C-alpha cells in the first residue's frame, strides 16, 4: 500500500517539473493565486499534497505550519491508508518540525473506551520524513514533546472512576521511572503529619484519600543552582462540594486536574529530553465531593503555612490545595515557582479557549520569558495584574484570609491574590480554566483535553538551557 505524500515548499515558484507535469504546475499556481496553500492530487491509490509554507519566518508562520499539518491529517482521517511520507523541499527545520507537530497533535484520539464503535477511532499511520534540514536530535525532541502532550491529554480525558488521586499519582510514578526522575508520593497519613489543612479539608467529603506527589529532575549539569518549582492543581473531579455546581457546569469537571497534567507532562518532557535544568513538580490531588463530612461555608481551615482560611465557598477548592503546595515549595529556596490550574470561570469568561491568564509577583523578567515561550508554540499568555488593591477583597473578619472575594468582580485576579498570600518567592500563576479542555474541535488541539502548558513550559525550560 502506497503512502500518501506531502511535498513541502517555501514558495510556489519552487515547485518544478521534476515532480509535477506542466498542467499540474499551472493548477498549483492557480490554486495559490486563490489563496490556497494546500493543493491535492488524487493518484487513485494515494494522494499527493503540495503544501506551500508561509514565507515569513516568525511565530505566526510556525503556527500556520502546524495548522497545515493538522489540515493534512483531517484529509487523511477518513482513509483506510493513513501513512504519510513528508518530502521537505523547503529546507527550513523549524517550519518542517511545526508541520509535523500539527499533524501529530491533530491525529490524537482518546478512544480507549470505544468498544462497539471502534471504527470511529482514527489514528495516524506511519510517518516518514525525507529532509536534509531536520536533524535526528530535533526529531527525537519533537517525539518527546508529542508524547508528553498526548500523555497530559490522556490524563485530562480519563474519567474519575479510573483516575482518582491515587491513580493520578501512580501515573506520575510511571512517568518518573521512564524518564529517570526522582518521585515521592505522600499518602493521607503523611499529609496529616504535614498539617496540609487545605488539601485535607477539600478531601473531607471524598471516599478516596488524597495524595501529594513530588517529581524532581536534577541533572548534574543543571544551568540553575536553585530549582524552578512547578505546582499543578490536581482536583480529579469537582462537584463544587456543598456549593454544588448546577446545570451542565459539572459535566467536564474530570478536567479539573488539567494543571497537574500540564506540570507532570512538562517535567516528564524535560527529563526525557535531558534538559540541563533543575525542576521540581508538586501535585496535591483529591476530588471535591458532597458528603456528610464535607466542609461547608463558614468552616475555618488551618493551612500548611499555619495561616487560617475562612471557607466562604466550597467550589473555590482548587486554591485551597494549591496554597498548601505553594507554601511547601518554600523549603526548596526556588529560583522561580510557576503554578498551573483550572482555577476560575472568570478567566474562562474573560479570554475563552484562546489563551491562558497569567499573573506574576516578583517575577517580571521570567514572566516575559514564559510569555515568549508561549508565543513560540502558540500557547499564549494574557497578563492580568496582581495589584494590592485586590487584597482588600480577600480580608476575613474571623480568619487570616477568605477563600473567595467579597464581590464578583475580578474573580481570576482575586484567586491569584489568594495564592500569592502563600508565597514569598518569584511567582507566576497560570489560570488555564479556558484553555485546558474544549467541547468542540479546536484545530490540532482536538476535542477534550488540550494538553495546554506542556509545550509552553518545555519551551521555557529549553530556552533556559540554551541561554
Tell whether 175 and 321 lie within a shared domain.
yes
Tell whether 152 is covered by a domain: yes
Q: Report, as an integer, the average pLDDT of 341-369.
A: 98
From 107, 133, 159, the end of a domain falls on 133
Tell whether 44 and 167 lie within a shared domain.
no
Q: Report, as an integer, the average pLDDT of 52-65.
A: 97
Tell whether 93 and 147 lie within a shared domain.
no
What is the tens place of the pLDDT at every residue in 8-24?
A: 999 999 998 888 999 99
Rounded-to-integer distance, Cα 220 and Cα 223, Å = 9
Q: Report, as an integer, the average pLDDT of 334-360.
A: 98
User: Where in 132-252 does DSSP place strands (E)?
Assistant: 182-186, 211-217, 228-232, 234-238
Rounded-to-integer distance, Cα 236 and Cα 214, Å = 17
pLDDT at residue 119 greater than cutoff 80? no
Q: What pLDDT sits at residue 1?
A: 63
Tell whether 112 and 161 lie within a shared domain.
no
Percent of the chain with pLDDT over 70: 100
pLDDT at residue 459 greater than cutoff 90? yes
Rounded-to-integer distance, Cα 203 and Cα 295, Å = 9
Q: Report, as an integer, the average pLDDT of 373-402.
A: 98
Q: What pLDDT sits at residue 349?
A: 96
The strands making up 308-310's β-sheet, listed across from edge to edge, are 300-302, 308-310, 401-402
Q: What pLDDT sits at residue 44?
A: 87
Can you state the angle between helices 411-420 and 318-328, rounded to 10 degrees? 30
Q: What pLDDT sits at residue 247?
A: 83
Q: What pLDDT sits at residue 117?
A: 81
What is the tens place of the pLDDT at every residue in 300-323?
A: 999 999 999 999 999 999 999 999
Q: Report, as an integer, the average pLDDT of 250-275.
A: 98
Pick the range with the lowest mean pLDDT from 12-16, 370-374, 396-400: 12-16
Domain that holds residue 460: 143-466
Tell whether 117 and 161 lie within a shared domain.
no
Tell whether 293 and 359 lie within a shared domain.
yes
Tell whether 366 and 219 lie within a shared domain.
yes
Tell whether 248 is covered by a domain: yes
Kindly report the CATH number assigned to the domain that includes residue 38: 3.40.220.10
pLDDT at residue 120 greater than cutoff 80? no
User: Where in 261-405 does DSSP place strands (E)?
Assistant: 279-288, 300-302, 308-310, 336-341, 356-361, 381-383, 401-402
Mind telling me the catalytic residues?
Answer: 245, 319
CB 455 within 8 A of CB 377: yes
Tell whether 151 and 78 lie within a shared domain.
no
Q: Report, as an integer, the average pLDDT of 166-170.
A: 99
For the chain, give the mean pLDDT: 97
- Closest residue by Cα to residue 268 from 334, 185, 358, 171: 171
Percent of the chain with pLDDT over 90: 94
**Residue 207, number of CB atoms within 10 A of its CB:** 10
pLDDT category of residue 2 using cuts at 50, 70 and 90 = confident
Between 116 and 14, residue with greater pLDDT: 14
CB 129 within 8 A of CB 143: no
- Closest residue by Cα to residue 390 from 367, 415, 362: 415
Q: What pLDDT sits at residue 56?
A: 94
- Closest residue by Cα to residue 378 from 114, 105, 153: 105
Stated as kind and residue range, the H or E segment containing 345 is helix 345-351
Q: Report, as an integer, the average pLDDT of 424-450.
A: 97
Cell of 98: 511545526
State how many domains the chain has. 2
The three-state secondary structure class of 185 is: strand
From 133, 156, 183, the end of a domain falls on 133
pLDDT category of residue 254 using cuts at 50, 70 and 90 = very high
Kindly report the CATH number assigned to the domain that includes residue 238: 3.40.630.10
pLDDT at residue 222 greater than cutoff 80? yes
Q: What pLDDT sits at residue 110?
A: 94
Tell whether 115 and 220 lie within a shared domain.
no
Distance of CA 145 to the CA centre of its chain: 11
From 103, 133, 163, the end of a domain falls on 133
Tell whether 158 and 59 lie within a shared domain.
no
Tell whether 267 and 310 lie within a shared domain.
yes
Q: What pLDDT sits at residue 322?
A: 99
Torsion angles phi and psi, residue 234, rounded to 5: -115, 50
Tell whether 234 and 125 lie within a shared domain.
no
Tell whether 138 is covered by a domain: no
Tell whether 459 is covered by a domain: yes
Tell whether 299 is covered by a domain: yes
Amino acid at each position: 500500500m502506497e503512502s500518501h505524500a506531502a511535498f513541502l515548499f517555501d514558495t510556489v515558484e519552487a515547485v518544478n517539473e521534476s515532480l509535477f507535469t506542466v498542467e499540474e504546475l499551472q493548477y498549483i499556481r492557480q490554486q495559490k493565486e486563490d489563496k490556497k496553500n494546500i493543493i491535492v492530487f488524487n493518484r487513485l491509490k494515494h494522494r499527493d499534497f503540495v503544501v506551500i509554507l508561509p514565507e515569513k519566518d516568525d511565530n505566526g508562520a510556525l503556527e500556520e505550519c502546524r495548522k497545515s499539518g493538522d489540515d493534512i491529517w483531517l484529509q487523511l482521517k477518513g482513509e483506510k491508508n493513513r501513512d504519510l511520507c513528508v518530502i521537505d523541499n523547503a529546507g527550513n527545520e523549524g517550519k518542517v518540525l511545526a508541520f509535523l507537530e500539527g499533524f501529530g497533535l491533530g491525529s490524537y484520539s482518546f478512544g480507549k473506551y470505544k468498544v462497539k464503535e471502534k471504527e470511529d477511532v482514527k489514528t495516524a499511520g506511519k510517518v516518514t520524513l525525507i529532509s536534509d534540514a531536520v536533524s535526528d536530535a530535533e526529531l527525537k525532541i519533537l517525539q518527546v514533546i508529542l508524547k508528553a502532550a498526548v500523555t497530559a491529554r490522556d490524563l485530562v480525558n480519563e474519567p474519575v472512576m479510573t483516575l482518582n488521586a491515587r491513580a493520578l499519582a501512580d501515573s506520575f510514578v510511571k512517568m518518573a521511572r521512564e524518564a529517570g526522575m526522582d518521585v515521592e508520593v505522600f499518602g493521607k497519613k503523611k499529609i496529616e503529619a504535614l498539617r496540609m489543612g487545605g488539601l485535607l479539608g477539600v478531601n473531607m467529603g471524598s471516599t478516596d484519600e488524597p495524595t501529594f506527589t513530588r517529581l524532581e529532575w536534577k541533572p548534574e549539569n543543571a544551568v540553575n543552582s536553585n530549582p524552578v518549582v512547578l505546582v499543578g492543581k490536581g482536583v480529579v473531579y469537582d462537584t463544587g462540594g456543598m456549593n454544588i455546581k448546577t446545570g451542565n457546569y459539572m459535566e467536564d469537571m474530570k478536567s479539573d486536574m488539567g494543571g497537574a497534567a500540564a506540570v507532570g507532562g512538562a517535567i516528564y518532557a524535560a527529563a526525557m529530553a535531558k534538559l540541563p535544568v533543575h525542576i521540581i513538580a508538586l501535585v496535591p490531588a483529591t476530588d471535591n465531593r458532597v458528603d456528610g463530612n464535607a466542609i461547608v461555608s463558614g468552616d475555618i481551615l488551618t493551612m500548611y503555612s499555619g495561616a487560617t482560611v475562612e471557607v466562604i465557598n466550597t467550589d473555590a477548592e482548587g486554591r485551597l490545595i494549591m496554597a498548601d503546595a505553594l507554601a511547601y515549595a518554600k523549603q526548596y529556596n526556588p529560583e522561580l515557582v510557576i503554578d498551573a490550574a483550572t482555577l476560575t470561570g472568570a478567566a474562562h469568561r474573560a479570554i475563552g479557549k484562546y489563551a491562558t491568564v497569567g499573573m506574576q509577583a516578583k517575577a517580571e523578567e521570567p514572566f516575559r520569558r514564559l510569555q515568549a515561550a508561549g508565543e513560540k508554540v502558540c500557547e499564549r499568555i494574557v497578563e492580568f495584574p496582581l495589584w494590592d488593591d485586590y487584597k482588600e477583597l480577600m480580608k476575613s473578619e474571623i480568619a487570616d484570609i477568605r477563600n473567595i472575594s467579597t464581590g464578583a468582580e475580578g474573580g481570576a485576579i482575586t484567586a491569584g491574590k489568594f495564592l500569592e498570600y502563600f508565597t514569598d518567592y518569584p511567582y507566576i500563576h497560570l489560570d488555564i480554566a479556558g484553555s485546558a479542555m474544549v467541547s468542540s474541535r479546536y484545530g490540532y488541539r482536538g476535542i477534550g483535553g488540550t494538553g495546554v502548558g506542556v509545550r509552553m513550559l518545555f519551551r521555557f525550560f529549553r530556552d533556559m538551557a540554551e541561554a
